[in-house]
Amino acid sequence: MPIDSVIYGYIANEELYQPNTTIIEEGKRGDWVYVVLEGRVKIKKATSKGPVTLDILGEGAIVGEMVLLKDTKGQRTASVVADGVVKVGILDRDRLEREYESLSPQLKGLIKTLVFRLEETTKRASVLAAE
Amino acid sequence: MAKKRKTPPVVHLSFSKGDLIIKEGDYGISIYKILKGHVLIFKKTADTKTSLAELGRGEVFGEMTFFNFLYEPRSASVEALDEVELEVWHPARLTEEYRAMPPILKYMSNQVLNRLLKMNRVVDELTKRQRQRRAEAEKAEPLGKRRYFRKKCTLKCRYHLAGSESRDYLLGVIADISPLGVGLEVAASNRRIGNHNPGSELELTFQLPPDTKITERGKVQLVTASKTPNHLLLGVEFENLSHYSKRMIGFFMMK
């Protein structure tokens, strides 16, 4: 699926981040959902031995979606940091929320399961990576 | 009638401890919800088994294949950890809804799926490496020598530095103890009185409850910052521990 057609009509704003600046901070509350338009971002998680980079994502990657999909006003589970200069699009949160709300409880339940499992697995991976 | 055939009824299944519910590599379409008991999700190769998650009542598994549009085989195995009762869903109706949902939500959940698959592989890989590291460490230095048991405690202790001219005792707290030595927490300012470096010798006097007084000599092996601010943690190894002290510490450790 080409990313342009998927996000068309959803981008509410665009932001530019300088290298190594933080786009999303772990532990903070926030519910913006971003899509990487240009450049790359690092997904980092804090561990007992300092931050560990768990993944590097490029253009087309959507980040910050976990809070939306979990359907709770929760904390950010990982940090997203600009790896070089990065242009992100901020997605229309209201529209996304409306559309997500319209799904059946079963389907939403399955998506939430997926998100919770990703959260758990990421935690485990960061603990292992810090050893 | 036709409509009924399209949406098969929900089936209940039960499993006993150790039963394999899903086998990695198999093709299957069902989604399972746990009504009772616990299951383990794991990945297995010829000689290793990595657990990925443990799930209990109300949780769902087998959903990853659904998000893969049923094209991919099961990415991990699932086994029953005790008496397990499951509700089995046939995803036919959900598949239709999934196909019809806004592309951006499909794109997002697909991304979450791929990240999860990736993180599962990362956990699997890191667990294997950890196992390998432990095996190598074991070979290099047998277990008994390296990781002896120490009893955690909080025992007030007076000590005297061997080379120090001062006749006054310094104070510290024994944070852990074994017949091999103690972890001694002291104020960082004690350094002003004399050397607290690896190799420094000291004489320790402390009391094991209820009223066993022990005085022994030891040598500092390791100096690290303590979790208590402005304190040092000294790793002290006993030198020529008396038979009596060894027995008393042994008794204390068993309590």
Residue B46 has pLDDT above 80, yes or no: no
Which range has the worst mean pLDDT, A43-47, B47-51, B151-155, B161-165?
A: B161-165
- Residues of B in Cβ contact (< 8 Å) with A62: 107-108, 111
Residue B241 has pLDDT above 50, yes or no: yes
- The DSSP line for A77-125 is SSEEEEEEEEEEEEE-HHHHHHHHHTS-HHHHHHHHHHHHHHHHHHHHH
Q: What is the ipTM, given to two decimal places?
A: 0.92
Question: What pLDDT score was predicted for residue A95?
Answer: 93
Minimal CA separation from A102 to chain B, in Å:
9
Q: What is the pLDDT of residues A18-59, one digit of tens each?
A: 999 999 999 999 889 999 999 999 999 998 888 999 999 999
Q: What is the phi/psi pair of residue A117, to 5°?
A: -65, -40
> How large is the average pLDDT for residues B219-243?
87
* Chain A residue with Cα closest to B33: A110
- Percent of chain B's residues with pLDDT above 70: 92
Residue B137 has pLDDT above 60, yes or no: yes
B103 with A5: Cβ contact below 8 A? yes
What is chain B's mean pLDDT, rounded? 86
Residue B181 has pLDDT above 70, yes or no: yes
Preferred mutation among A47, A52, A117, A126 to probe B, highest tally of B CBs within 10 A: A117
With tokens 């000689």, the residue in question is: B47
- Percent of chain B's residues with pLDDT above 90: 36
Secondary structure (3-state) at B215: strand
Preferred mutation among B30, B65, B119 to probe A, highest tally of A CBs within 10 A: B119
Question: What pLDDT score was predicted for residue B4?
Answer: 46
pTM of the model: 0.66
* C-beta neighbour count of A59 within 10 angstroms: 13
Q: Torsion-angle region of residue B61: left (phi > 0), alpha (psi -120 to 50) or beta?
A: beta
Residue B17 near residue B85 (C-beta atoms within 8 A)? no
Query: Regarding predicted confidence, which is higher, B141 or A70?
Result: A70
Q: What is the pLDDT of residues B77-123, one digit of tens each?
A: 999 999 999 999 888 878 888 888 999 999 999 999 999 999 999 99
- Residues of A in Cβ contact (< 8 Å) with B124: none
With tokens 């699997």, the residue in question is: B124
B70 touching A (Cβ < 8 Å):
no
B87 touching A (Cβ < 8 Å):
no
**What is the distance, to the nearest Å, from the Cα of residue B90 to the centroid of all Cα atoms in its chain?**
36
Residue B142 has pLDDT above 80, yes or no: no
- Residue B106: C-alpha distances to residues A38, A71, B97, B99 (Å): 22, 16, 11, 8
Question: What pLDDT score was predicted for residue B205?
Answer: 93
Minimal CA separation from B172 to chain A, in Å:
27
Which range has the worst mean pLDDT, A1-15, A61-75, B211-225?
A: A1-15
The DSSP symbol for B30 reads -
Which candidate from B63, B116, B119 shows the least CB-CB separation from A110? B63
A121 with B64: Cβ contact below 8 A? no
What is chain A's mean pLDDT, rounded? 91
Cis bond upstream, residue B229 (ω within 30): no
